[in-house]
Amino acid sequence: MQPIDLPSPNHAARPAGGPIDILVLHYTELPLEESLAILRDDGTAQRVSAHYVLDLDGTPYHLVPEERAAWHAGRSHWRGRDALNATSIGIEIVNLHGDLHDYPTRQIEALIELCHDIVARHPAIASRNVVGHSDIAPKRKIDPGRRFPWAVLAQSGIGLWPREARGKLEGDVQAALQRFGYSPAVEVETADIIAAFQRRFRPNLVDGIADDETRGLLADLLDQIGCAP
Ligand SMILES: [Zn+2]
């Protein structure tokens, strides 16, 4: 579906020559109209925006041109890089709380179509760089939430999902999480990063403990991206 243009004034130039290689998924926490109002408001102290907003019924809205930086990620870290607004595209998906409310099938089908379009325009967005806000801001953010269907997206070629917890991770879990992409940050403990990983890849038990299943899932994901576990 062709997105509906609803321009937001909240954007900035990207650094010259910088790649666009990360796709960040969020939930809005608010209904559509309120979300659009906030993401298009230039009068507040904390101006925010996203490139796209996706309504519950799958209608996509286009707020910020992809070649400009939108303000959706805040303090954020992935694969050793910080402040990811500069190099990312952000999609806000309408959902009041992604731990509590399922994402409708129509909305996810529309999201998959939108993601494929974005990745086609920006082939530097590798599967491992399709992330949730909670992946790039552990402890601070929990969106898109435990009910977000990452496995469905991965089946459609968007992002990654563990094949099975068959791997065995020897050694330091923190170093392994970092090889995958989770980056250390001030006031973020290893347990917070393990919890962010679980929130994404084992949502039925998020306790921050690197148990055998968690380590196995991580080992498989590292295998998928060609890193030794
Ligand atoms: Zn977010």
Going from N- to C-terminal start, the domains of the chain cover: 4-160, 162-229
187 is known as an active-site residue: no
CATH number of 4-160: 3.40.80.10
For residue 77, give both structure tokens: 């870290």
For residue 40, give both structure tokens: 């298009």
φ, ψ of residue 11 in degrees (nearest 5): -160, 170
CA of 78 to the centre of ligand 1 (A): 15
CA of 141 to the centre of ligand 1 (A): 7
CA of 76 to the centre of ligand 1 (A): 11
Q: Could you give the CA distance from residue 116 to residue 134 in angstroms, rounded to a whole number?
A: 21
φ, ψ of residue 110 in degrees (nearest 5): -65, -35
pLDDT in tens, 120-165: 999 999 999 999 999 999 999 999 999 999 999 999 999 999 997 6
Q: Could you give the CA distance from residue 93 to residue 96 in angstroms, rounded to a whole number?
A: 9
Compute CA distances 43 → 39, 40, 75, 91, whole Å: 11, 9, 21, 22
The DSSP output letter for 182 is -
3-state secondary structure at position 197: helix
Residue 190: the pLDDT is 96
CB-CB contact of 9 with 68 (8 Å): no
Residue 165: the pLDDT is 63
Whole-number percent of the chain with pLDDT over 90 = 90
3-state secondary structure at position 35: helix
Q: Provide the mean pLDDT of the chain.
A: 95
CB-CB contact of 161 with 105 (8 Å): no
Burial of 187 (0-12, 13-18, 19+ CB in 10 A): exposed
CA of 123 to the centre of ligand 1 (A): 23
* Catalytic entry in 92, 113, 164, 170: 92
Whole-number percent of the chain with pLDDT over 70 = 99
pTM of the model: 0.97
The stretch 89-116 carries a mean pLDDT of 98
CA of 130 to the centre of ligand 1 (A): 14
pLDDT in tens, 75-94: 999 999 999 999 999 999 99
**Is domain 162-229 in CATH 1.10.101.10, yes or no?**
yes
